[in-house]
A and B are shown apart, each in its own frame.
Chain A
Amino acid sequence: MTPLLVLAGAMVGAPLRYLIDHAVQSRHTTAFPWGTFAVNACGSFVLGLLAAGALDGSVPGSVLALLGTGLCGALTTYSTFSYETVRLFTDGARVLAVVNVSVSVAAGFAAAGLGALLGSLIRG
């Protein structure tokens, strides 16, 4: 059952990433990969919320498999993040490459922390 939930969540999360990335990238002309930045921050927020709920039992395992491992896992990406960073670096935009890594990681943590905080507020 769990693999099917992961599959279903990912089949929504991955195209959602594609569409969000497309929408963000068509709205700016800078070299910074804002699209990947946006999906990684959003997915980290939602997984932060779900993971905190799973720890105290308020989010059942099936929901975590569907929305966490499946949807958030596929909504966020490490491969595109790495590839874009390496390309920025080898194309000569070295500062931007370093900024991309630090800002993406910092935003991911801030987002996951906010998600966990929101979860604790909801549960009271």
Chain B
Amino acid sequence: MPETTLGGRPAATRRVEWRAVVAVSLGGGLGALARYGLLALWPPRTGGFPVATFVTNVLGCLLIGALMVLAAEFWADRRLVRPFLGTGVLGGFTTFSTYVVDVRRLVADDAPGLAVLYLAGTVVAALAAAYAGSALTRLLLRARR
């Protein structure tokens, strides 16, 4: 079990592990392709709710909550699981910059109510999803024993 600081981060190690950098790059590419796929599935409409990015961010948060519990339980000795799946795939899948720019665009498109709904709705749903992902995974693991 790696030493963690408050906030659940691994204690900062002095050296960058280059195998991890490659794992993050490969995972990030895959995650971004999945995000692009959802954008193609639900193309953004002018003045419309950004469905694809909303689903992407909430789903990614649910999955990271589950992943962190599973990684600590089953893959504590696998050093590339969290860089590849967490920092890479889920980090590349979810996006903060598109969220911010989409809110700005809704304001510019004269849909301030939708902008506020999307702004607050993403924060609330994402945090609830991250919490639920961890809590549900812990429950399932306990039930299995």
Chain B residues with CB under 8 Å of A43's CB are 96-97
Chain A residues with CB under 8 Å of B113's CB are none
B118 located at the interface, meaning its Cβ lies under 8 Å from any Cβ of chain A in the complex = no
Query: How many positions in chain A have a CB within 8 Å of any CB in the partner chain?
Result: 59
- CB of B28 within 8 A of CB of A83, answer no
Give complex CA distance A47, B28 in Å: 18
Q: Is the interface of A mostly helix, strand, loop or mixed?
A: helix
Taking CB atoms and an 8 Å cut-off, the chain A residues in 95-124 that contact chain B are: 101, 104-105, 108-109, 111-113, 116
CB distance from A15 to the nearest CB of B (A): 4
- CB of B63 within 8 A of CB of A86, answer no
Give complex CA distance A75, B96 in Å: 9
- CB of B96 within 8 A of CB of A108, answer yes
Give complex CA distance A17, B25 in Å: 10
Closest to A65 in B: B36
A18 touches which of B31, B39, B61, B83 (Cβ 8 Å): B83
B130 touches which of A14, A31, A83 (Cβ 8 Å): A83
Closest 10 CB pairs of A and B: A14-B28, A10-B32, A87-B8, A76-B96, A78-B94, A31-B6, A47-B97, A82-B130, A43-B97, A79-B64
15 further A-B pairs in the complex, CB-CB below 8 A; given A74-B91, A78-B99, A82-B127: A6-B32, A7-B29, A8-B29, A14-B27, A14-B32, A17-B87, A19-B16, A25-B12, A31-B7, A43-B97, A69-B32, A73-B98, A77-B96, A78-B60, A84-B7
Q: List 6 A-B contacts (CB under 8 A).
A: A11-B26, A14-B28, A14-B87, A73-B98, A77-B94, A84-B7
